[in-house]
Amino acid sequence: MREDPHRALFELLEDAAAAAVFPGCVALVWRDGAEVYHEAHGQLSTHPDAPERLRAVARDTVYDLASLTKVLATTSLAAIAVAEGRLALDAPVPARWSRACPRARLHHLLSHSAGLPAHREFFVELPRGPAAKLLDRVAATDPAYPLATKAIYSDLGYMILGSWLEDLFGQPLDALFENRVAWPLDLHGGVVPRLGFHRILGARGPSAAQQHLVAPTEVYDPSLHPEGAPSHFACRRPVRCAHYEVHDDNAFAMGGVAGHAGLFGDAAAALEVARAWLDCTLPGLDRRTRDAFWRLSEAPGSTRRLGWDSPSPDGSGSAADVLSSRAAGHTGFTGTSLWIDPAPPDGRGPLIAVLLSNRVHPTRTGTGIAAVRQAFHRAAVRL
């Protein structure tokens, strides 16, 4: 008897939750104009100190999207700016950032080839304060390698890009995203917006009305780290568990809104932005600009496009070996991923695969998500 591909995918994700790869997840697969899989698996949280412990995940559960922020928000806004003539791909990065990435252009930031280091723990010295102070530290960072000689995936480049877009449009990044992406696609509103940033103000965490809608992420419990409390614990005190507060520590120190992280959303909302890229229906985005952003970077050895990634030629990446070379996608540290394939190898029409999870609960140390992502995409293409 032939195996049911829907059941195979269901069991894969149920087993991953049972094995504590993540407490739970939402998976959505769209093929050639229709949803062919949209299911919730597992619980929102499992640790005794976490809110909403053992509450079942729902299809509209909102997750911390982590670095999917880079493509769904920041890259989308950059593409709109290019399509509207506000920016050119070869526009020089503003002088404010010249020390960090001398002679870099917009396309270098987008393709992670601007010479910037991958990461810096700015949050250790600047725990939660004005974003401008942390951005000043980014501006004072020395380059890590010569411009355009390779690609190093860099949060710093997207911190710069988020600030650049704010200056260009004259709006904070969260408001800009809401006005130019979320509202046109009807992804705003509700107790928790279907897709949007959550700015950290005075009170931390979700309201009582929001709690069961958002999956918690990391638990800041020293007993979970017998080798010693990690460096990021200090900036989180007195919070016991991140719940509707951005998990990324530099974005947290910036108040929850940054070009590299900070977006929260549900799987269906992520799908809508992906479809708007695929079909060029995002207001302001035209096909010519979309195609320019989906071209491979010229950086030697890179799989990067502009903002987006492409499948690893050897099949070692999150998309495994089942998507076409034209596919564009991204992953997020919290356990999220999104892939768009305009022309899958099976010839059945476009595919979009969304997997959202909180694999950083209760800690960020697990490694099982890599294998689950590959298995998810192998199963998704069979639907």
CA distances (Å), origin 54, targets 17, 41, 44, 48: 12, 12, 6, 9
Residue with tokens 């940033």: 197
**Whether the Cβ atoms of residue 284 and residue 271 lie closer than 8 Å to each other:** no
Question: How distant, in Å, are the alpha carbons of 7, 66, 380 from that of 20?
Answer: 20, 20, 21
Residue 45 makes CB contacts below 8 A (sequence gap 6+) with 23, 51, 52, 53, 54, 55, 215, 216, 241, 358, 361, 362
Q: What is the mean pLDDT of the chain?
A: 95
DSSP 195-261: EEE----SS-S--TTTGGGB----B--GGG-TT---GGGGGGTT-SB-SSS-SSHHHHHTTS--SSS
pLDDT digit string, tens, across residues 107-158: 999 999 999 999 999 999 887 778 999 999 999 999 999 999 999 999 999 9
Q: What's the pLDDT band for 209 if we cut at 50, 70, 90?
A: confident
Give pLDDT tens digits for 78-87: 999 999 999 9
pLDDT at 207 (0 to 100) = 81
Q: Which residues of 315-333 are buried (b: 16+ CB within 10 A; e: fewer)?
A: eebbbbebbbeebbbbbbb
Token pair belonging to 287: 């096909």
pLDDT at 2 over 80: no
Kind of pairing between the strands at 328-332 and 336-341: antiparallel
The residues that bridge with 24 in the sheet, in sequence order, are 42
- Residue 71 scores a pLDDT above 60: yes
167-198: pLDDT as tens digits = 999 999 999 999 999 999 999 878 899 999 99
- Per DSSP, 364 falls in state S
* Residue 40 burial (C-beta neighbours within 10 Å; 0-12, 13-18, 19+): buried
- Give the pLDDT of residue 23: 98
CA distances in angstroms from 275 to 82, 177, 195, listed in the order given: 19, 17, 14
Q: Is the pLDDT of residue 1 over 60?
A: no
In tens, the pLDDT along 254-274 reads 999 999 999 999 999 999 999
Sign of CA dihedral 6, 9, 14, 17: negative
Query: What is the Cα–Cα distance from 122 to 119, expressed in whole angstroms?
Result: 9
| Model confidence pLDDT, tens digit, residues 286-340 | 999 999 999 999 999 999 999 999 999 999 999 999 999 999 999 999 999 999 9
Q: Is the dihedral of CA 364, 366, 368, 374 positive or negative?
A: positive
What are the percentages of helix, strand and coil residues in the chain, rounded to 5? 35, 15, 55
Q: Write the CB contacts of 363 (distance below 8 Å, at least 6 apart in sequence).
A: 218, 219, 224, 225
Give me the mean pLDDT over the 37-45 stretch: 98
Say if strands 34-42 and 195-197 run parallel, antiparallel, or are unpaired. Answer: unpaired
CA 184 to chain centroid, in Å, comes to: 20
Structure tokens at 199: 């700015």
SS3 at position 6: helix
Rg over CA atoms, the chain: 20
pLDDT of res. 100: 98
pLDDT for residue 202: 59
Cα separation of 335 and 168, whole Å? 32
